[in-house]
Amino acid sequence: MAVLDDAYLWLEALDSPEVRRWVADRNAETFAALAGFEPTRDAIRQVLDNKDRIPYPGWRGDGFYYDFWTDADHPRGLWRRTTPSQYRLDKPEWDVLLDVDALNAAEGESWTWDGVTVLRPDYDRCLISLSRGGADAVVVREFDLRERAFVADGFRVAEAKTDVSWIDADHIFVATDFGPGSLTSSGYPRVVKRWRRGTPLAQAELVHEGLADDVAVRAFHDPTPGYERDFIGRFLDFFRSEFYLLAANGDPVGIDVPADARWDVHRDWLLIRPRSPWTVGDVTYPPGALLAAEFEPYLSGRRELHVLFNPDDHTSLSDWTWTRNHLLLVTMTDVKTRIDILTPDPADWRRRPMPSPDEFDHTWIVDTDPDNDDSYLISSTGFLRPPSLGLGTVGGAVTLLKREPTAFDADGMEVRQFFAVSADGTRVPYFVVGGATAGPTLLTGYGGFEISMTPGYDGVIGRSWLSRGGTYAVANIRGGGEYGPAWHRAAQRENRPRAYEDFAAVAADLAARGITTPAELGIQGGSNGGLLMGVMLTRYPQLFGAIVATVPLLDMRRYTQLLAGKSWIAEYGDPDDETEWSHLRSFSPYHAVRPGRPYPPTLLITSTRDDRVHPAHARKMTARLREYGYDVSYYENVEGGHGGAADNEQHATLWALTLEFLWRKLTPPRPGG
Label residue 126 left, alpha or beta by phi (over 0 means left) and psi (-120 to 50 means alpha): beta
List active site positions. 527, 642
For the segment 261-286, the average pLDDT, to the nearest whole number, is 97
The rounded distance, in Å, linking the Cα atoms of 555 and 616 is 9
Cβ–Cβ under 8 Å, residues 486 and 495? no
List pLDDT tens digits, range 495-546.
999 999 999 999 999 999 999 999 999 999 999 999 999 999 999 999 999 9
* CA-wise closest residue to 552 among 562, 543, 542, 544: 562
Which of 60-64, 513-517, 631-635 comes out lowest in average pLDDT?
A: 60-64
Flag whether pLDDT at 2 surpasses 70.
no
Task: Express each pLDDT in 190-204 by its tens digit.
Answer: 999 999 999 999 999
**Rounded Cα distance, 290 and 307, in Å:** 6
Residues in the chain: 673
Contacts for 472 with CB less than 8 Å, ≥ 6 apart? 383, 432, 433, 434, 441, 442, 444, 461, 465, 466
User: Residue 114 corresponds to which amino acid?
Assistant: D
Among the listed residues 420, 374, 373, 379, the one whose alpha carbon sits nearest the alpha carbon of residue 394 = 374
Average pLDDT for residues 95-115, to the nearest whole number?
A: 97
DSSP for 431-483? EEEE-SS---EEEE----TT--------HHHHHHTGGGT-EEEEE--BTBSTT
220: which residues sit within 8 A by CB, 6+ positions away?
Answer: 165, 173, 230, 231
DSSP assignment of 303-337, as one string? ---EEEE---SSEEEEEEEE-SS-EEEEEEETTEE
Per-residue pLDDT, averaged over 133-156, amounts to 96
Residue 355: per-residue pLDDT: 74
Contact 554, 618 (CB under 8 A): yes
pLDDT at 1: 40
Phi, psi of 29 (to 5 degrees): -60, -40
| 601-627 burial: b if 16+ Cβ within 10 Å, else e | bbbbbbbbbbbbbbbbbbbbbbbbbee
Distances (CA, A) of 584 to 379, 422, 534, 574, 588: 40, 21, 13, 8, 6
CB of 232 closer than 8 Å to CB of 214: no
Mean pLDDT of the region 336-350: 91
- Band of pLDDT at residue 344, cut at 50, 70 and 90: very high
72-75 long-range contacts, CB within 8 A, separation 24+: 72/45, 72/648, 74/99, 74/100, 74/101, 75/101, 75/647, 75/648, 75/649
Instruction: Give the model confidence (pLDDT) of 573-599 as tens digits.
Output: 999 999 999 999 999 999 999 999 999
DSSP string, 486-551: HHHHTTSGGGTHHHHHHHHHHHHHHHHTTS--GGGEEEEEETHHHHHHHHHHHH-GGG-SEEEEES
What is the pTM (predicted TM-score) of this model? 0.96
Across 305-334, average pLDDT: 97
The CA-to-CA distance between both ends of the chain, in Å, stands at 55
Q: How is 608-651 classified by DSSP, letter by letter?
A: TT-SSS-THHHHHHHHHHHHTT--EEEEEESS-GGGT-SSHHHH
DSSP string for 190-251: SEEEEEETTS-GGGPEEEEE--TTSSEEEEEEE--TT--EEEEEEESSSS-EEEEEEPTTS-
In this prediction, residue 671 has a pLDDT band, given cuts at 50, 70 and 90, of: low
Q: Could you write out the DSSP letters of every residue in 25-86? A: HHHHHHHHHTTT-HHHHHHHHHHHT-TTS----EE-SSS-EEEEEEETTEEEEEEEEE-HHH
| Separation CA 627–CA 619 (nearest Å) | 12
Confidence at residue 345, expressed as pLDDT on a 0 to 100 scale: 80
Give the strands of the sheet with 632-637, arranged side by side: 414-421, 427-434, 471-475, 441-444, 521-526, 546-550, 602-607, 632-637
Label residue 573 left, alpha or beta by phi (over 0 means left) and psi (-120 to 50 means alpha): left
Position 238 scores a pLDDT of 96
pLDDT recorded at residue 583:
97
What is the average pLDDT value for the chain, to the nearest integer?
96
Q: Looking at residue 93, what is its pLDDT?
A: 97
Residue-range domains of the chain with CATH: 9-45+414-666 (3.40.50.1820)
Phi, psi of 45 (to 5 degrees): -60, -35
DSSP for 112-145, please give it: EEEEEEE-TTT-SEEEEEEEETT-S-EEEEEEET
Between 250 and 648, name the one with better pLDDT: 648
The whole-number average pLDDT for the span 318-322 is 97
Can you tell me the distance from the alpha carbon of 384 to that of 459, in angstroms, rounded to the nearest whole number? 9
